[in-house]
A and B are shown apart, each in its own frame.
Chain A
Amino acid sequence: MHVGELLGTHRQELRRGTVVLACLLALRTPGYGYGLLKTLDAAGIPSDGNTVYPLLRRLEERGLLESEWNTDESRPRKFYRTTRAGSELAAQLLADVADLTMSLHALNGGIDR
């Protein structure tokens, strides 16, 4: 395996766990499937539809998102919004990510010296 390939694999693994967090954070402003993909992309967290679309359903089943059909525009779209429980979970996860990042940097500093 080439280094580039390895980087791709590990990067994917790193990001897998953060997609949930990204969705919960982004959907505090209501959004629909494809729009969410664009939002995530613009935020520097590119994600695939085949990951995000099923994820939205699962998060809704767990009560972390709620959804509503919007039929005002020409094409009906299902809008998702992060629930209170989802927001609380997201805040906790975000704090964890921050801690983890700090720990990794500390570890990195320890090696440099």
Chain B
Amino acid sequence: MSSWTERYLAVALRSIPDPKRVDLEQELRSSIADAVEERVAAGEDRLAAERAVLQGLGDPAQLAAAYSGRPTYLIGPELFPLYRRFVPRLIAVVVPLAAVVMAAVKLAGGGSYSDAIAAGISGAIGVTIQIAFWATVTFVFLEWADSARKARTEIVAATGRWTLERLPELSAARVTAKESVGEIVTVLITIGGLLFLRSLGTTDASGSISTTSG
């Protein structure tokens, strides 16, 4: 079995680019050896000393992150406000549209109202998951990819700079049309969903649903 130090170094240096790695490995090795030697000189068993020193250095993945300057998070504080604003809004605008379209397609294809509502709901869930996933992947890429560093700065500069004007009005009257449409449709879908769930419980409910939604 390879020594603890070798195993530790392998993990700590795995993500360090080549030109830096050799130098870093030598330095880390000598730092670890220095610490071990001191403990041994003080009368400690060599293996116990090695283990204690490595334990003290902590998770090698953390150490590697500190060396490489890579973040230890998926989306950092710079991008997070934009992410937090953008994803819910995108979902609020796109999902209701998608749900309505899917329900309409089902109806046009000869499906019943409850089938259409079911198609709308499952479509809404699917599209929500898709949007959340791909938006998150996009943001993580912006955060992590070295090549995206410039794009990230520009995006944050273009969209992320906070100004007083961004404060929403206290009255609901100033909510933009887009937002309110999204909100209304979302509410409708929710109501439709609730009715649909109730219709699952009773056999004669499908008729009442078709009058409600139609």
Contact = CB atoms under 8 A, between A and B. Distances in A.
A78 B63 contact: no
B213 to A, nearest CB: 53
A66 B24 CA distance: 15
Contacts of A49: 31, 35, 56-57
Interface stretch (A12-20, A27-35, A97-105): A27-35
Interface residues of B, number: 19
Contact of A33 (B31, B58, B62, B63): B31
B33 interface: yes
A50 B35 contact: no
A76 B26 contact: yes
Contacts of B63: 50, 53-54
Nearest to B69: A58
B75 to A, nearest CB: 23
B36 to A, nearest CB: 10
A75 interface: yes
B67 interface: yes
B34 interface: yes
B30 interface: yes
Contacts of B23: 78
Contacts, number: 49
B57 A33 contact: no
Contacts of B30: 32-34, 75-78
Overall SS of chain B's interface: helix
A98 to B, nearest CB: 29
Interface string B68-96: 01000000000000000000000000000
Interface residues of A, number: 17
Interface in A46-105: 48-51, 53-54, 57-58, 69, 75-78
Contacts of A77: 27, 30, 34
A76 B22 CA distance: 13
B184 interface: no
A53 B69 contact: no
Given A58-B69, A76-B26, A78-B26, A53 B56 contact: no
Interface in B27-43: 27-28, 30-31, 33-35, 38
Please give me the 9 A-B residue pairs with the lowest Cβ-Cβ distance, nearest first.
A34-B34, A54-B66, A33-B31, A78-B27, A50-B58, A54-B67, A34-B31, A50-B63, A50-B57
30 contacts: A32-B30, A32-B31, A32-B34, A33-B30, A34-B30, A34-B34, A35-B34, A48-B56, A49-B31, A49-B35, A49-B56, A49-B57, A50-B58, A50-B62, A50-B66, A51-B66, A53-B27, A53-B28, A53-B67, A54-B63, A57-B67, A58-B69, A75-B33, A75-B34, A76-B26, A77-B30, A77-B34, A78-B23, A78-B27, A78-B30
Interface of B: 23-24, 26-28, 30-31, 33-35, 38, 56-58, 62-63, 66-67, 69
